[in-house]
Structure 1
Amino acid sequence: MSDVEDEITSDSDLDPSELTDKELQLAFSEGKLKPGLNLILEGKPKTPNNISGLKQSLLDLQKDLPWLERLDVTAEPVPEMPGLTGQASSQDSSEVNAEDDFQREMSFYRQAQAAVLFALPRLQKMKVATKRPDDYFAEMAKTDQHMQKIRQKLQAKQSSMEKSEKAKQLRALRKYGKKVQVEVLQKRQKEKSAMMNQIKKYQKGLSDKLDFLEGDQTQKKSGDSAAFYAIPNAKRRYKDQKFGFGGKKKGSKWNTKESVNDVSGFRASVAQGKGPHRPGKKGGKNANKRPSKRTRQKIKSKGR
């Protein structure tokens, strides 16, 4: 109990736990309460050193059991390059830097090696098997029903992962299909716009081609090069048949320098009327031809 509680108890003759807030305020106003809840101790607290109790606890912990039941090994770490003898090293543990993680872990590893090298020969000497046989059977700590539940949970988890993966693939395929569909629609819209523009140009007389109405073009190959030509439509074929294939019409039969100088088709017999191609001339094709009826009648009338 603190000095403040002693004063309050001596003045009010009440238990400090039973004091009300009003009484505490009255004591504070009279200066009977001092600030602070912790007591300041003078000097360091002395640690109890119960030697007899510690020895008794050690005796209680110690059991007189054979080493095979305890399997405790106390040995120094093996050297960094262990020899064939496998004896423990006399290396001082103070040489290990505790702040170096790698060096500290290697110290633990070498100490475990020393324990194994010490315990294995002793176990073999005591004819204790240190290797698990091939036909070793160990009873499971968990029941078959529990393992069956775990198996079912694992299968359910695997199936859910497969379903999730399939759903992800389907979403990707749908996204790709939608993208392709949008591209196709855009291409069709572009072709339609181009066709409408050509129709407008044709209606306004700015163009005389309507090749887009026939659709695809036929490919014509000559040697290594390939050329495309459009098949004329029915309207174009009808106009070609009626009016010809275009080009210059007037003066198409005029003589030219080349036609005048070309005498390959000249025939003297035909030009001088001696050939068979001059009708009505001597020696011609119609030289022995019978006169017509009107001519014969005129000849008879003259004879009378």
Structure 2
Amino acid sequence: MSDNESSDAESIDSDTELQRAFASGHLKPGLNVEVAPKLYINNVAAMKHKLEEFKQHLEWIERLDLTNDPTQTPGGNQATEEQGDSVADDDFKREMKFYRQAQDTALEGIAKLHKLNIKTRRPEDYFAEMAKSDDHMKKVREKLLERQLAMERSEKAKKLRDLRKYGRKVQQDVLQKRQKEKKEMLDAVKKFRKGQKDKLEFLNSLKSNGMKQKPRQKKGDRKHVPNKRRDFKNKKFGFGGQKKRGKYNSSGSSADMRKTFSIAVNQKQQGKKKGKNYKHKPSRPGKAKRQKMKNRKR
């Protein structure tokens, strides 16, 4: 139903009410309907009769009902405390009145229970059966743990998303900064080539920051730094490199004349006896001669 239809229905209802009031003679000038005053009925006898109908005459232990007034404060008078509407308007006083009334009721009820020999305290070894079974509580606990883990996962995922966003933002800022610096450097180089600039500013900034370019070393000046792993293996197993041409003279050994060169040894004639008791070692016979000697022995 639209707003126009609802307003039309309300106007029709008000018109019918006015027509009824006009017919009954209750319509006053100005289209005002006179409303009869409401009658408040306080039939005490009828209310007591109804109370006796549904009232159950049971013992107090079955009903446990008490009607008490608030306990008096130390040194106070109940009649003077309840004068006027100050208690109803003041929240603190009203709550204190409720508290003192409950206190008086509890004290009276405990005294009545003790007279009836009913214990009001549980023994120390009292075992109360739970309203829910262990299986049900186990399911509840598992559900709570599952919900807690789901919340932790969602929080962790949220933090990771935030970190990724922050990382991407930082990366974009760094890339933009590099591109800006590169563009500025290229523009400065172009202007320097065209003669619009005398000096390049980024070179001066590098020199001021101490970032000087290292001079290149010549090929002969470079020192070979041995690998530690290779040194350890060489110490353990020996040098396993090239074996041939190992006795070739080097530039250092060829130029050194102090250790290997001796005039006395080099001036001796070849074939000359070395001493008095020197005996020439006989040469080995040839193959044919050795064969003949072998046949003779047989």
TM-score normalized by structure 2? 0.49
Structure 1 or 2, whichever has the larger Rg, is 1
